[in-house]
Amino acid sequence: MPRSHSSWKGSASCRLEWRPSRWVRGMLILLGVLSVVSLFGSALPAWMAGVLAVPVLGFAGHALRRYGRQPARILVIPGGDASPMLDGIALVRCALQWRGPLAFLAWQDVQGRRGHLAWWPDTLDARQRRELRLAAGDAALCATMAAMAP
């Protein structure tokens, strides 16, 4: 039985969407609540813990709102030696790391700006994780990144 030509490529292409995770939102809420509980469980006087609880909850709400308002991002990893693109911008340096079902992408674009994204299991299902692993491969993700030190 003949093999398909797509399986002969050195690396497959991949197109993924990143969006804020509901799990991270839930953890931010939990951290805010637990930080207030820890204030009242500490040796602080109750009135001081009550005063400090207000800015702690405000900061937790700010972090939750800031994370939830991040726009969706599109990562495209073309097959072959082409550079990956994030929202249509070519990436000069990038690295993909795995921690179990979590995927972490750190990058630097042509203008020198750096950034990072994290895909959680609720935003990247098993099929997409496999697609990303196959597209990234074992070698360096970016074609323009030097493979060895000078």
pLDDT above 70: percentage of residues in the chain: 83
Rounded Cα–Cα distance for residues 136 and 64 (Å): 31
Same domain, 76 and 121: yes
The CA-CA-CA angle for residues 137, 138, 142, to 5°, reads 70
Same domain, 77 and 124: yes
The 8-class DSSP code of residue 6 comes to: G
Same domain, 54 and 93: no
Same domain, 56 and 89: no
Q: Is residue 148 part of a domain?
A: no
Same domain, 78 and 33: no
Same domain, 91 and 126: yes
The 8-class DSSP code of residue 115 comes to: E
CA 52 distance to own-chain centroid: 31
The parent domain of residue 59 ranges over 22-68
Q: Is residue 82 part of a domain?
A: yes
- Strands 73-77 and 85-86, sheet pairing: antiparallel
The 10s digit of each residue's pLDDT in 70-113 is 999 998 888 777 788 888 888 888 888 999 889 999 988 888 88
Same domain, 121 and 53: no
Domain count, the chain: 2
**Residue labelled with tokens 């990144």:** 145
Rounded Cα–Cα distance for residues 98 and 108 (Å): 19
**Whole-prediction pTM:** 0.72
Please, which residues have CB within 8 angstroms of residue 7's CB and are 6 or more apart in sequence? none
Same domain, 77 and 131: yes
Q: Is residue 144 part of a domain?
A: no
**Residue predicted with more confidence, 58 or 5:** 58
Q: Give the DSSP letter string of 48-59.
A: HHHHHHHHHHHH
Same domain, 57 and 87: no
